[in-house]
Amino acid sequence: MTQQDQVPPVDTAAGPGGPDPVLDETSATRAAGPVTAAVTTLGVRGEEREDFSKAESKRLRRRSLALLGSLAAPLKARLVLLGVVVVVSTAGTVAGPALIAWGIDNALPRVMDENDWVPAFGVVATYIVVAVLGAVLTAWYTVLAARISQAILFDLRKRVFLHTQRLSLEFHETYTSGRIISRQTSDLDSIRELLDSGLNQLIQGVLYMVFTGIALVVLDPTSGLVLAVSLVPLWFLIRWFQTNSQTLFRATRVTSARVIVHFVETMTGIRAVQAFRKESRNRDEYGRYVEDYRVANTKVFNLFGTFDPVLVLIGNATLAAVVIVGGFRIVGGSLEVGALLAVALYAKRFFDPAQELAMFYNGYQSASAAMEKISGVLEERPSVPDPAKPVRLPDATGAMDFDDVEFAYNADKVVLPEFELHIPSGQTVALVGSTGAGKSTLAKLMARFYDPSKGSVRLDGVDLRDIDPKDMRRAIVMVTQEAYLFSGSVADNIALGKPGATRDEIVRAAKAVGAHAFIEALPDGYDTDVNKRGGRVSAGQRQLLSFARAFIADPKVLILDEATASLDIPSERLVQEGLETLLADRTAVIIAHRLSTVAIAHRVLVMEYGRIVEDGTPDDLIAGTGRFAQLHAAWRDSLV
Ligand SMILES: Nc1ncnc2c1ncn2[C@@H]1O[C@H](COP(=O)(O)OP(=O)(O)O)[C@@H](O)[C@H]1O
Ligand SMILES: [Mg+2]
């Protein structure tokens, strides 16, 4: 978290990814121009923003449309059916008033003049059939639409998860967790809302207005003209609403995102928050964000406060005009009563969907913003791509080479300049140096969490970029200070290193690294749930578990990046023997601050400013006068 805060957004165009992998992508992304530039300008990496230029908006829209298209493609048949059902059901609903008019103007006179009931029964029967059919079709439409929107959401949710999981460390180190959570929660929610209700309303509303307008024009062109005139103020009202709501709705989204991000950051960093008494500062800050959100929402409500009454006014005025004009025409004999009733009903109903359409506009805006952000994430390519022609390396010996490597996280600062290193198979190397020297960076390159900007990192002479990812992950394992435990039992967590491991293997691994005793002491031993009370283990114990995980994985190359940092001295002594078992018969790089850990190494590398300044056996270096000799003396003094 803290690192993410400090690290500036990575400029992918000049980043460590080497040749831009995005360009190998589909023509859809290629059409969108140089995507790396898009990625940085569109705020996928940096801050979340919504103030895009016209060209950017266009590109974003095209990008999310392409995504929507790919989501809808498998549902084509169902979408066509949906279209047919909605057209027929809306037409049925709109037919009602026309049938009433026909009944009053034609069937009723026949009853009164000729005592002929057939047309009257006919029209009533038709009315009932149409009404029932309309209801059934509407129900069908609702179910169909819900199924389609669920299918789309399911697909999208899965894609976002799988894709985010696949993205390289570089992405996760720059894209804050608050934002990634927003993608999976609030963004998907606003898309769900739009699909579930908004879109239904839009399609039904628009069709309803169109059919009502047509019915009105067919039934009585003069009244159609009156309605057409009313469209002028309606058009102005809607324009006014759109222009104003765009900024206001955007403000609500930006402010609500800020509230969420602040909340997530506070809670994920709760230890630091409490340790440094940041609560009151947070309270003020959070209070400000919540207040901004409230103000933004109030403005939206005020907007509706104007929009709604004006809309009702236009509707009522139109209705009055239709009735007055129609009334005069009835007096003149050019319009029948039934027709006027139908016309009045149409004129009144015409405005019904308008308010929903205005609401839809809000939903549409947040959903399309969400869609843009999600498609931005989906468009990200792993900066450490899988090889096109993977080289199998199932029996690596574990010799590692850095050939002419140069590495930079971003263009302005080279972290490893011209790096050369050969580690023969089976050697245990201790890597020491001051904070920020580049030790973790070296470790991350060795485990291929990043690729070098120049040169190559090789395992058994094969560039890591070319090795089959499965073989590479099997051969090289990195254990860091952050020993993460997943929900499940202790045994499950150890078995992560070797899926399908037997209980015997798990216990053997735990014994090898000195974790067996404390595991046995847990309430349910190896079956203790790590998330349950009593299953909570200390940081040092977590590290022992991650050692067991590494031991059972049995890699050829093992990298420990400050992985012993949380162990107290007695358990480090305990783990010392375990560590020696763990490191035997494999290439190992240990980054550690402890003298005892360094002592078991065959070779010590001292690193400063991204370069190796000393390289030799522990004894040789101690005997010398260099940096390691000084460090060693300081360590010894600290022990007595
Ligand atoms: N994800 C990152 N993005 C940009 N710079 C980074 C990143 N991680 C580390 N750095 C920078 O690289 C340099 C080396 O860091 P690191 O390898 O973590 O050092 P060490 O492990 O020796 O303390 C530091 O200057 C650090 O600021
Ligand atoms: Mg480090």
Q: What is the pLDDT of residues 190-218, one digit of tens each?
A: 898 888 877 777 888 888 889 998 988 88
| Residue bearing the bigger pLDDT, 487 or 31 | 487
* CB contact set of 11 (below 8 Å; sequence gap of 6+): 40, 410, 411
Nearest CA to ligand 1 atom 1: 173
User: Mutual orientation of helices 199-219 and 352-379 as an angle, nearest 10°?
Assistant: 140
pLDDT tens, 525-571?
999 998 887 677 888 888 889 999 999 999 999 999 988 777 766 66
* Ligand number nearest to the C-alpha of 605: 1
407-460 pLDDT, tens per residue? 999 888 899 998 899 999 999 999 998 889 999 999 999 999 999 999 999 999
Distance, in Å, from the CA atom of 633 to the CA atom of 268, rounded to the nearest integer, reads 39
**CB-based contacts of 340: which residues, under 8 Å, 6+ apart?**
323, 326, 327, 330
H, E, C per residue of 211-239: HHHHHHHHHCHHHHHHHHHHHHHHHHHHH
Tokens 């079956």, residue?
527
The pLDDT tens digits of the residues spanning 220-254 come to: 888 899 999 999 999 999 889 888 888 888 888 88
DSSP designation for 433: E
Q: Model's pTM, two decimal places?
A: 0.77
Q: Which atom of ligand 1 approaches the CA of 409 most closely?
A: 4
Ligand nearest to the CA of 436: 1
How does residue 24 score in pLDDT terms, banded at 50, 70 and 90? very low
Both structure tokens of 498: 């070797």
Average pLDDT value for residue range 395-412: 92
Q: pLDDT digit string (tens) for 51-91?
A: 667 787 788 888 888 888 899 899 999 999 998 998 998 88
Of the pLDDT bands very low, low, confident and very high (cuts 50, 70, 90), residue 640 is low
Q: Cβ contacts of residue 510 below 8 Å, gap of 6+? A: 494, 516, 519, 526, 545, 548
Residue 103 has pLDDT above 50, yes or no: yes
pLDDT in tens, 270-329: 989 899 898 999 999 999 999 999 999 999 889 989 998 999 999 999 999 999 999 999
Query: With a 6 A CB cut-off, is 174 part of the ligand 1 pocket?
Result: no
Cβ-Cβ contacts under 8 Å for 439 (sequence gap 6 or more): 431, 432, 433, 561, 591, 607
Indicate the top mutation candidate among 2, 4, 6, 7 to test ligand 1's pocket, ranked by most ligand atoms within 8 A of CB. Answer: 7
For residue 528, what pLDDT is reported? 92
pLDDT of residue 284: 92
Residue 436 CA, ligand 1 centroid: distance in Å: 6
Q: What is the pLDDT of residue 12?
A: 31
> What is the pLDDT confidence band of residue 29, given thresholds at 50, 70 and 90?
very low
612 strand-pairing partners:
607
Structure tokens at 30: 């290629």
- Does the C-beta of 543 come closer than 6 Å to ligand 1? no
DSSP calls for 149-178: HHHHHHHHHHHHHHHHHHS-HHHHHHS-HH
